[in-house]
Structure 1
């Protein structure tokens, strides 16, 4: 009995040390803007009368982004581009301009649908389990790259893409390999600004039920509370990070926004 008590005590001690380590090494940095500075930044951006498009507004990251875009109103014009018309109950969302396109024929039929935007957001995404290998590659790589090319040709200055932590085109895993290749090829298109977001496990209440993901999120919550940036990303924090990174007039060129920076940006958007 004493052996079992000793083992349990040792286990608790190890867990306590691990949690203390995580807490110390994965705290979110302080906000980069004070509340008054943030409000001024947003007001200044509004005065520029910028326009944006969102691709993938039916997915979880796209829905969260759209919610923040509508709430904060940084843009004078918002256009949703998707494969089907999106239905909304909210009156403000119903008023948004929507363009329905065939993603397989962007080059031939839909170049004009991407003309004249200042900012482009790509939130396209799927899983291999849902779309199969070929479908996953088509959506994550082919469609995303076609959207980026059309946006570049149409004059978009700042292109933003939701990717994932751990991507690597030399990875053994298809998911990380395809996303890594996509990230690189988008960065090579020559936009004035490219922002690639690499969140960790997204914490979100999906409409689409994924039992294993629900279990994983439940297990992650204690870790997320103690070490917010270690292994998870709340979906609203990602959306707020994208908005702040839009309005803060960052440096030109390609930018990889890792999970820690996503948390810092997202938690800085206090308006």
Structure 2
């Protein structure tokens, strides 16, 4: 019997790259995605589940029997019009509900995309505090292996255009050369590298909680 993986956030920058890698790689024989609307992707390994993301039970069919759950889901303040409660429903509730179901269904590893600087004690930054809370919640679930990825600015072509992020990407090669030591964690990284690193991490069988920042992301990605 082959391995099964489940992906949340497959339409995003990292998630889309990850999905392509998963479909091209032989490690998983089935790849299930949880989506709000059907993806225009067709592949014999791919199974799409259109669900209500606010209903935890609707996650179960896709996650049941999975060896790995990849969670790269997230939104922006622009999409939720600055509403913190709506933001939490996506960036907090969905990963935590997915991890809860994964634990109940005996999933071996949960691979989570977080953010550099995530810290549940960070009271001056809503985004970083929320990411830290999610990390802690997921890590407390009864899942043998949890891999947390903390990238900084993501490089790549988004479907959604973000002017500020695009300008940062243009300037990234200039300011990155000055980011040394611990500042390296804040260097921009290709979304494809993060996705490749997530797949490599998922193939490891060591139990525990692992946190990956810039250097370890590149190492896992073979950069």
TM-score by length of 1: 0.75
Residue of structure 1 equivalent to 2:211: 256
What is the CA distance between 1:87 and its match in structure 2? 1.6
Q: Deviations over 1:193-235 (max 9, x none)?
A: 0001001111111111111111111111234467694511111
Aligned to 1:87: 40
CA RMSD between the two structures? 1.9
Tell me, in whole angstroms, the C-alpha distance in 2 between the residues paired with 1:110 and 1:203.
30
1:112·1:154 contact (CA, 8 Å) conserved in 2?
no
The 1-side partners of 2:24 and 2:72 are apart by 18
CA contact (8 A) 2:7 2:33 kept: yes
Gaps of 5+ in 1: 1-47
Match status 1:233 vs 2:214? no
Equivalent of residue 104 in structure 1, options 21, 34, 54: 54
Query: Equivalent residues in 2 for 1:38-49 (5 A)?
Result: 49=2
Q: Would you tell me which structure has more helix in proportion to its own residues? A: 1
Distance between the aligned counterparts of 1:265 and 1:141, measured in 2?
A: 26
Which residue of the other structure, out of 99, 111, 119, is the alignment partner of 1:160? 111
Paired residues for 1:1-271 under 5 Å: 49-88=2-41, 91-92=42-43, 96-107=46-57, 109-131=58-80, 132-171=83-122, 172-224=124-176, 229=184, 230-249=186-205, 251-267=206-222
SS at match of 1:130: coil
- CA 1:72 to 1:179, structure 2 compared with 1: closer, same or farther past 3 Å? same
Distance change (3 Å), C-alpha of 1:77 and 1:234: same
What secondary structure sits across from 1:209 in the alignment?
A: coil
| Contact 1:128 1:135 (8 Å CA) reproduced | no
Matched residues, number: 216
| Matched-pair contact (CA < 8 Å) for 2:146–2:210 | yes
What is the Cα deviation at residue 74 of structure 1? 1.7
SS at match of 2:37: coil
- State the TM-score, normalizing by the size of structure 2: 0.90
Larger Rg computed on CA atoms: 1
